[in-house]
Structure 1
């Protein structure tokens, strides 16, 4: 009986993978050294909030976009909404405390900078993402290679 072969990458890929695991282990040890219970509680809470609250919300929103664009025969246009919405949502998730104005004092003390303007910048970035997506959608007919309009010759039997 032959044993299945495990595909191994190049030595550089193996070295890079080993280094990334070592870096992740180092970060985990440093992160859990001070308040391991708080970190574990944050991870469990984040997973629960994502799975029980956020996932159903963006699944319903995505379904609405698919139904709205899919009913008109434009299912291929869904990605032009999904990509900027996902990037904007990711930015909101990462910068939510500053966008929501929840950590003004801590941010000012830690960096010496004003936390004002994060909401306006996030809205501007979101508008640019959707505008760029709309521009790509509008330019799609010119960016796509033209199909030949010649008819196929009948197949010989």
Structure 2
């Protein structure tokens, strides 16, 4: 449903209006915050880091994975997607828990909590392995129906 004056349609325009309203309210709410400039710097830095470094890296990795598996059949697309989903989840977990995985900020953590820092590296590897394992099990369960689907298309 496209609008003649706004190319993407009314639902898209309303969603954007809501997002801009929420962003404006957030800025208004934080305006008196003394560390606002640091938050803005981190936000802008994260956006630039993603767009200039992370996106080309994971786009290249996905391109290699796509070439390696191919996308001609339902089975190949399923294999590709069952690799993409846990890889995305593992990457997001890595970014969220980066200081704990790389053992950064131990003194700050101990000063704030009074407890020694426990590394998250082994836990992250275990969770990532479990995600790939669950994805492999899900693919194995789907495999017979994917093969039948490919056979019916020939």
TM-score by length of 2: 0.71
* 1:115 equivalent among 117, 141, 148: 117
Where is the helix percentage greater, Structure 1 or Structure 2? Answer: 2
Aligned 1:1-157 pairs, distance under 5 A: 21=22, 25=25, 29-30=29-30, 33-70=33-70, 74-141=76-143
Number of residue-to-residue matches in the alignment: 136
Query: In 2, distance between residues paired with 1:142 and 1:113?
Result: 51
Unaligned stretches of 5+ residues in structure 1:
8-16, 150-157
Contact kept in structure 2, 1:32 and 1:39, CA below 8 Å: no
Question: Deviation of residue 108 (structure 1)?
Answer: 2.0
Question: Deviation of residue 28 (structure 1)?
Answer: 6.5
Q: Quick check: which has more Rg, 1 or 2?
A: 1
| Residues 87-96 or 103-112, more deviating | 103-112
Unaligned stretches of 5+ residues in structure 2:
1-5, 12-17
